[in-house]
Structure 1
């Protein structure tokens, strides 16, 4: 017997037995109607590259304003601004904006697009008048230990700043001074995010904690503490720009996405139960990246889409209704450090240590698909206090994605052959690829679309892009979920 072992970022080690048996390959003719329809649908879901901007330094952060102006912060200590001119991005007269003496770690526009905040690795923070390129304030430091995270509040009246001293600060734009300090993290604050109504501020630290603070009015202690949600620290977090509101109690429920050094993205829903306490529940977690997560950002217009970047040189697009990976964007030759949607969600920018920024066109079908799924789920919603009764349903009565959603609330024990090797999620539409292995349809299609012509498992070149529905496994998954 010949054995070999493989280890993965999904925290598993597998032992494999090698045999001389050939792997069966199933093909369908190129003229197949089903495959033709799949190719057409695939084309509609592709992220096309609009432009590639070559920089003179590593790219650390990017952001858009309402006019599709793009700002880039990098290791050359400067902030550069570009305006979209057709299919090109031209550097503006106000660029570059100089003021930092070390690498620029983060950049963000205010919601109105008139102001820009930048933070450097030495902890200095600058607020700019974007229209003139002039500094509104002289560079300041939070504390002797500095900090690198800075976010504008939705109302643009203050900044949230993360310190290496474990504190988070509110900085008033009007008075140009710190208006409140939130204590408590045991390590440096790596990321921050405001709820869309500016009621709360989330902070994530290098120790793997997420804390939620009341900011309207600002007060401490924290309203929510989540411990050890990411091994080796929380790197990025972001709130969805939409929230739900209970018609009777008026309680608002928010969604927060987090990314960490454990290569995992987690999504939580949060809601206040009184003036002092907020509860949280993990909705799902996503695996797929082969390295630490560097950035997570919700789409501004359709909050059912999330982008994540990682040191594995890829950016992934996720469906926030089911946690499935919609697309894998591969272009950069080095770590992808950041990503940002335009306010109208028609563009996505990704920046990398390869000194380039790529502008991608977001396909309309993704937003439309997520809107349909949202409307469909709201129409057939199951109250959070009720269990989904599957006993009286047959396989024909229920959609597989609904079963998956219900199953995630109650169990995590899923047979390995039902999990897609690419997304590490239970499959909804399993298909057999030319390499003989079964994958989630959209995952293997995204793999192929992004220029990969080898098997995700064996790394052997694929002779065909045709796939066949694995109807037997799909029925087995339904039966398993129905119990």
Structure 2
């Protein structure tokens, strides 16, 4: 069973991204702000909202320890925020001053990648906040990026529809052309690493304007080569799929779509478990909590919904959330809550 446990209604424009740390939830918006909530009761922290960007904030991500939050914006910067004080720790100016559409931190928090509207990539040393090297993907807008669980390679996705695998020397290891017709919108590595014989395998999910969510296998061979192939194509949504995210154990995969739905899949068996129908506009963001069976979804309706998977990884094949289990707001911009014990296991 899946239950909507609260709705956050603090942003004044589209919600573009959401991200969990162990005890915090961060959201960012076209209203130029980020908001940070405690996952113990989803109350907003005292230093929130974070105001430092001059234009729309497109993406945000936590460092592994949760002490820092990175965000990127049309203002051509990546801002690093302290989650102790809410203060700005650093401002990273993207080379060429092009709007930054995506940023991603490596799982070991050693590197940060930012991708821009002009197709340029910047790889930063995160501890020192220094630029390491840059790269370019034609002139397509970079809108997706994710690091492998080993932190040694990362994948980018662009509006041209390609997925490209890079190493930390900014060498392109593989290019999957036309991975999504009309453009990629998001990509994310599964957190687990599969190994056997002379091959190490990663799983990658990607989604796009073709209304599809895809699961790929990326094989690394002991001689150093990489090969990528498609495992599953998921078609549970009827319009462009804008966001996707794995659960912390890699067993579940969630996605949000222009058709206003959120879908939850059994990632290993490519099986649709739930379809959630509580947003009033496009679902632009989704993420799993790393510490509880909780999903956050953000939308162009300016809200963030917090969902609890009551049965963890087990669901009913393709069933929608029962109408009576989902709360909706009828009191303006207030937050709607169920009892706190439902929020955290």
TM-score (norm 2): 0.89
Judge conservation of contact 2:19–2:287 (CA < 8 Å) in 1: yes
Report deviation, 1:79: 1.0
How far did residue 237 of structure 1 move? 0.2
1:148 Cα offset (Å): 1.1
Instruction: Deviation per CA, 1:3-53: give whole Å up to 9, x if none.
Output: xxxxxxxxxxxxxxxxxxxxxxxxxxxxxxxxxxxxxxxxxxx21111111
Change (3 A) 1:305 1:450: farther
Per the alignment, residue 456 of structure 1 pairs with none
Whether 2:44 is the aligned partner of 1:91: answer yes
CA RMSD of aligned residues (A): 1.8
Q: Aligned to 2:175, what secondary structure does the other structure show?
A: strand
Tell me, yes or no, if structure 1 residue 140 matches structure 2 residue 90: no
Counterparts of 1:149-298 in structure 2 under 5 Å?
149-215=102-168, 218-220=169-171, 222-246=172-196, 248-249=197-198, 251-273=199-221, 277-298=225-246
Asked if structure 2 preserves the Cα contact closer than 8 Å seen for 1:62 and 1:106, the reply is: yes
Distance 2:232 2:105 in 1: 27
Give the Cα–Cα distance (whole angstroms) in 1 for the partners of residues 234 and 83 of structure 2. 36
Report the 3-state secondary structure (helix = DSSP H, G, I; strand = E; otherwise coil) of the residue aligned with 2:313. helix
1:66 aligns with 2:66: no
Q: Which ranges of structure 1 fall in alignment gaps of 5 or more residues?
A: 1-45, 370-440, 452-483
Shift of 1:359: 0.5
Tell me by how many angstroms 1:131 deviates. 0.9
Query: Which structure has the larger Rg over C-alpha atoms?
Result: 1
- Measured in 2, the distance between the counterparts of 1:448 and 1:136 equals 41
Q: How does 1:80-479 map onto structure 2 within 5 Å?
A: 80-85=35-40, 88-138=41-91, 140-215=93-168, 218-220=169-171, 222-246=172-196, 248-249=197-198, 251-273=199-221, 277-300=225-248, 302-366=249-313, 442-443=317-318, 446-447=319-320, 449-450=322-323
What is the match of residue 50 of structure 1? 5
Q: TM-score, normalised by structure 1?
A: 0.64
**Alpha carbons of structure 1 residues 219 and 77: separation in structure 2 relative to 1, 3 Å:** closer
Query: Structure 2: where are the runs of 5+ without partners?
Result: 325-345
Higher relative contact order (CA 8 A, sep 6+): 2
Are the equivalent residues in 2 in contact too, given 1:243–1:252 (CA < 8 A)? yes
Cα deviation, 1:207-254, whole Å, max 9, x if unaligned, reads 011110122xx242x1111010111111100000001111x43x3100
Higher helix share: 1
Alpha-carbon offset, residue 168 of structure 1: 2.0
Q: How many residues align?
A: 323
- Report the alpha carbon displacement of residue 186 of structure 1 after superposing the two structures with TM: 4.1
Whole-angstrom distance in 1 between the partners of 2:125 and 2:6:
37
Q: Cα offset for 1:276?
A: 5.1
Given the alignment, which residue of 13, 25, 33 partners 1:78?
33
Q: Which structure has greater strand proportion?
A: 2
Contact 1:100 1:139 (8 Å CA) reproduced? no
- Residues 277 and 166 (structure 1 numbering): CA distance in 2 closer, same or farther, change over 3 Å? farther
Shift of 1:346: 1.5
State the SS of the aligned residue for 1:143: helix
For residues 11 and 175 of structure 2, what CA distance do their matches in structure 1 show? 41
Quickly say closer, same or farther: Cα 1:140–1:186, change in 2 above 3 A.
Answer: closer
Provide closer, same or farther for how the CA distance between residues 80 and 365 of structure 1 changes in structure 2, counting only shifts above 3 A.
closer
How far 1:152 moved relative to its partner?
Answer: 0.8
Following the alignment from structure 1 to structure 2, what is the Cα–Cα distance between the partners of residues 77 and 290?
Answer: 30
Q: 1:450 to 1:211 in 2, by over 3 A?
A: farther
Bigger mean CA offset, 158-167 vs 279-288: 158-167
Deviations 1:237-274 (A, max 9, x none): 0000001111x43x310000000001001111011235
Native 8 Å contact 1:143 1:163 kept in 2: no
Distance 1:76 1:161 in 2: 21
The answer on whether the counterparts of 1:330 and 1:450 sit within 8 Å (CA) in structure 2 is no
Aligned equivalents of 2:98 and 2:260: distance in 1?
31
Does the CA-based 8 Å contact 2:212-2:237 persist in structure 1?
yes
